[in-house]
């Protein structure tokens, strides 16, 4: 394979990657719109299975954090989500540090 062939193939692959990235972006937008449309059903499913991980997978959220954020938005608060069976397991993914009971104590901060 000559250098010209390699350069030509490289350009072709870059164009294909660009096209696939654009398609992926559109698909993610469509999934987001469907998730927003089916917020009630997502909440019902979550209440039935009581799992962030199962809800994330079933409704094609990118990750547990996105599912958590959506559920908090759909429910209007985080209380139902915090009762999930796998909440403590997912805590690190959502908040960036391990779960601690101290995180959930009511503190009177000096304001």
Domain count, the chain: 2
Domain range enclosing 18? 1-37
pTM equals 0.74
Check whether residue 5 and residue 33 sit in a common domain.
Answer: yes
Structure confidence at residue 1 (pLDDT): 85
Q: Specify the DSSP class assigned to residue 104.
A: G
Report if residue 111 sits inside a domain.
Answer: no
Report if residue 75 sits inside a domain.
Answer: yes
All residue ranges of the chain with pLDDT < 70 are 101-111
Q: Rounded distance, CA 85 to CA 29, Å?
A: 29
Structure confidence at residue 12 (pLDDT): 96
H-run or E-run covering 12:
helix 3-37
């Amino acid at each position: 394979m000559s250098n010209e062939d390699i350069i030509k193939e490289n350009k072709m692959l870059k164009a294909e990657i660009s096209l696939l990235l654009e398609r992926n972006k559109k698909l993610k937008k469509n999934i987001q719109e469907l998730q927003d449309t089916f917020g009630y059903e997502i909440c019902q499913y979550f209440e039935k299975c009581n799992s962030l991980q199962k809800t994330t997978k079933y409704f094609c959220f990118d990750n547990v954090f996105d599912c958590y954020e959506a559920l908090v938005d759909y429910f209007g608060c985080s209380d139902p989500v915090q009762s999930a069976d796998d909440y403590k397991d997912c805590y690190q993914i959502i908040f960036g540090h391990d779960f601690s009971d101290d995180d959930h104590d009511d503190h009177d901060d000096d304001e």
